[in-house]
Amino acid sequence: MDPTQKIAKNLERFAQAIAAHDRENPTHHSWGIGLAPFDIERLGLEEGEQILPGIVIQADGGVTGNFRVLCDGDHDQELEEAEEEVVEAVSTQALPAIQPTPGRFGDE
Ligand SMILES: [Zn+2]
């Protein structure tokens, strides 16, 4: 997956999570997506960046690899906080191994 596709995929997940949250909590107003600072960086996002209409990226102390829907409503953290996985933006493609070249010193 190229980086543009990963960003699109994450935006899709953010949008879906917000839609689900708003559906379950019609009195809440969601305004952001909470990400660990590490994830903001590796996804190539910026804190405060508006990624969807009315939705900004916010650094939080949450778990790396997941995101949180941020809203102005109250949640029972234990029961309702839904964390979603973000798509890995870092390539996990293996590099070809460098083969050691056999050889020795001296000439006996
Ligand atoms: Zn809420």
- Confirm whether 52 is domain-assigned: yes
Name the CA radius of gyration of the chain, rounded.
Answer: 21
- Confirm whether 93 is domain-assigned: no
| Structural domain count, the chain | 1
- Confirm whether 53 is domain-assigned: yes
Let me know: does 11 contact 51? Beta carbons within 8 Å. Answer: yes
- Confirm whether 97 is domain-assigned: no
20/35 Cα distance (integer angstroms): 18
Say which residue, 45 or 93, is predicted with more confidence: 45
- Confirm whether 32 is domain-assigned: yes
Range of the domain at 77: 3-85
Tens-digit pLDDT profile for residues 43-78: 899 999 999 999 999 999 888 999 999 999 988 654
Residues near ion ligand 1 (Cβ under 5 Å): 25, 28, 71, 73
Q: Is the pLDDT of residue 80 over 50?
A: no
- The pTM for the full model equals 0.70
The two three-digit tokens of residue 79, written as one number: 């029961």
SS3 content of the chain, % helix, strand, coil (to 5): 30, 20, 50
**Separation of 48 CA from ligand 1 center, angstroms?**
19
- Confirm whether 99 is domain-assigned: no
- Confirm whether 101 is domain-assigned: no
- Confirm whether 51 is domain-assigned: yes
pLDDT of amino acid 88? 56
Say which residue, 92 or 11, is predicted with more confidence: 11
Q: Is the pLDDT of residue 104 over 50?
A: yes
